[in-house]
Structure 1
Amino acid sequence: MPRLPQPYDGERLQTKGRPTEFSFWPTRRLRAHAKIQTKLFALEPWGIIEKSVNDWTQGSKKLEALACLRQAHDFYKVGTEPGIEAARPLALYYCYMNLAKVLCLSWGDEDSFNNAQHGIWERSQSLFEDDFLTVFPSPNRGKLQNFSEILEVLTGSGVQTQKDLRIAEILPQVLPGHRLWAHASEKQERFISIQDIQFWRNRGDQEIWLRIYVFADDLSRLSISHKRFLSDSGLENNFHEVESDASIDGRKLLCFEEIEVTKYQANHPADSLEELAHSLRENLWATVATVPPYRRYYAYLCPQPERGSLLPQLLSVYALTYYLGSVTRYRPQDYDDILAGKYGSRFQDFVTGQPAQFLYLLSSEIIRQDIAQPSII
């Protein structure tokens, strides 16, 4: 086996004597240069979102965003109320849709979502595994399409052409409860835990880059090669494996380093951190925790035949919730059948355990800063 390349010479980036934590929003722009920002802690993020809307939007956009936020909050309370079962998916979908409109009104180009359409359509077949969703470009026949507009704000590009997404290929993309899917489908797990993501720099050359660390035994237990990890996670074009002697409690850590470094100017590496972090947004899934480090990141190993249905993390949750909400609304007996089927425990876990995760992750998108729930109440 050929030797791995050596990592770049450098040091881990620090802020005030501590390693700079990875985040999709590591900095906030202040006048000429960016400043490292920390996590926010909140028992509920609704007030933080409202403040962000008031700070960053104006006029009719602000009024519409605040109205959507109030509706999202009300639907969230209904969708998470103890004892609510049959209507839960429908309430949660309308919560997510309104919260996503707040995101689009805050950071998108559209001034209003009045009369916007869902932009996604459920098409039922004889078996759940064969059901699929059709998504549409925006605008379509003169009307905005919510799904495409959300995708554009999250990734910079909306739905380009009408396309179908298979429910059976969206279901494994949802991180919480993924092992229930693997057990029910008798398939291999697809999520690999990222032990650490680090910012590194070379002071002399004024260069900065990312390193991703993964436990070697997390790949070996699933018989996943290092090459397959890079290819199926979508990281292979920007990262390669380099020599690493790092370990934790005797567990070897593999190091995957960015192939190309990023130059920064005038001794201000923080100015380049957001660019680096955003380069990973479509390759990482996250969970929000109530204990340090408050965010855990994962790579999703998507089989090549299913890449056409691959969505950003938040939109996979959004799409699956739309599907269940549509079934609940139009064919409630089919929803009962789904819960009674082999994926029943997976869907039960999804509708009861996902709302808080979605709320905190999308709220962080809206305010562009990590929000976490404190561990002490």
Structure 2
Amino acid sequence: MKEIEMKFGFPLFTKDKNTVYLGNHKKLIISDIWSFWDYVIKKHNKNCDFLSALLEQSKHFYLTAENSPVKSKPLLYYYSFLNLSKIIVAIENGYDSTKTYMHGVSENHNGKFTQSTIKVKQKHPNNSINVAIELTEILDVNVPTTPVTLNVKELLCHCVGVHRAYSEIYKKREVFFRIYNEKLYKNGREMIFKAQVQCEKTDLNELRNRGYVINEVDGGFVYEHTITTNSSNKVRADYFRMSQEIRAQGLWYFIGSNGYTLYLSNDATYRFSPEVIIYDVMFYLGSITRYHPYMFDKIFSDNEQWLMSEFLTTQPKQYLYLATSKLLGQHVMKAYASF
């Protein structure tokens, strides 16, 4: 068994082909995400005027949100996300300005955050684009095949960046288990991914029930996923298939100053990717800000307002970098980052 390089953005961001070719699949470390997106649009070299206009709006809303009061942030961040997501969907699917871009998602606050829901619609049958579901197809592996109604509080459980605060507020045990020391190997036609799991023996049954293969090795625990490839030479298609299978099982992550931290989850519900969760929750919060601003204090308890503040402070930058990485199929990180 021989260790091989984890490339093509493996295991988080691997794509079957380049949408925009940058840097030979290597990690990209940038200092200005907005200038970088301007470069991506120019490198894509299609519908540049349309995409550049969307980028200008996304940047303006984002920078304005950063310096706005907490209750004003959600709508500004959502409009930033929406415009950036239009760019992602347009580049990935070859759309242009002749399309009509719809939210494709609606909310019902039901008078209380714990009862609040969002409904994600399916693809629009004509020239209109329902952004939420088409974005989910790009950012996630587990894509709803019918219109789906989601409880926002339950959805937020799998938002890695605020999970500890979430668990504290709702008196729930944490569902995430960190994996580290990730390695990729080949053994003839086999391709094997291994990582150590930070868990207790009592956690194994629940994790295994979620489909993970975890073995006890030298007193520790090792997560393993294996595929059989067509030959001993591993190509991009092999990295892509393995990445899809690992992500379908459930892999969560956030980007920090030292790179990406990865987790498995033992919770069975709402196992969506971090970017999709952040986008959908921001839509919900933006809708409250837009349509029911007078209800903000009523819908959220004092503890939940703290949770929302944590979300709005930490997660927008996560969405910005993770969604960018997903479109490009490679790791995109900020130089000298403070997340």
Q: State the TM bucket, normalised to the shorter chain.
A: 0.7 to 0.9
The SS at the match of 2:161 is coil
User: d(CA) in 2 for partners of 1:228 and 1:254?
Assistant: 14
Partner of 2:217: 244
CA contact (8 A) 1:191 1:301 kept: yes
Specify which structure has the bigger relative contact order, considering alpha-carbon pairs within 8 angstroms and separated by 6 or more residues.
2
Select the residue among 172, 183, 196 that pairs with 1:213.
196
TM-score (norm 1): 0.79
CA contact (8 A) 2:138 2:326 kept: no
The structure with more radius of gyration: 1
Partner of 1:228: 206
Q: Do residues 363 (structure 1) and 334 (structure 2) align?
A: no
Map 1:1-377 to 2 at 5 A: 10-14=1-5, 22-25=10-13, 37-58=25-46, 60=47, 62-81=48-67, 83-112=68-97, 114-139=99-124, 143-155=128-140, 159-202=144-187, 205-215=188-198, 218-220=199-201, 223-224=202-203, 226-232=204-210, 236=211, 239-242=212-215, 244-245=217-218, 252-264=219-231, 267-269=233-235, 272-282=238-248, 283-291=250-258, 294-303=259-268, 307=269, 309-338=270-299, 340-375=301-336
Q: CA deviation at 1:324?
A: 0.5
Count of residue correspondences = 333
TM-score (norm 2): 0.87
CA contact (8 A) 2:115 2:151 kept: yes
CA contact (8 A) 2:121 2:133 kept: yes
User: d(CA) in 1 for partners of 2:130 and 2:16?
Assistant: 30
User: How big is the alpha-carbon RMSD for the aligned residues of Structure 1 and Structure 2?
Assistant: 2.9
The SS at the match of 1:288 is strand
Q: Would you tell me which structure has more helix in proportion to its own residues?
A: 2
Identity %: 21
Q: CA deviation at 1:12?
A: 1.8
Q: CA deviation at 1:342?
A: 2.7
CA contact (8 A) 1:286 1:295 kept: yes
- Report the more deviating stretch, 154-163 or 173-182: 154-163
Q: CA deviation at 1:136?
A: 0.8
Q: CA deviation at 1:123?
A: 0.9
In the alignment, structure 1 segments of 5+ residues that lack a partner are 1-9, 246-251
- Report the more deviating stretch, 170-179 or 277-286: 277-286
The one-letter amino acid of 2:213's match is H
User: d(CA) in 1 for partners of 2:317 and 2:38?
Assistant: 17
CA contact (8 A) 1:138 1:144 kept: yes
The SS at the match of 1:342 is helix
CA contact (8 A) 1:79 1:87 kept: yes
Q: CA deviation at 1:142?
A: 5.8
Q: CA deviation at 1:63?
A: 2.7
In the alignment, structure 2 segments of 5+ residues that lack a partner are none
CA contact (8 A) 1:40 1:372 kept: yes
Query: 1:65-101 CA distances to partner (integer Å, 9 max, x unpaired)?
Result: 22211111111101111x5322100000011111111
Query: 1:133-186 CA distances to partner (integer Å, 9 max, x unpaired)?
Result: 111111157632111111122246854322211112112111112111111111
Q: CA deviation at 1:28?
A: 9.5
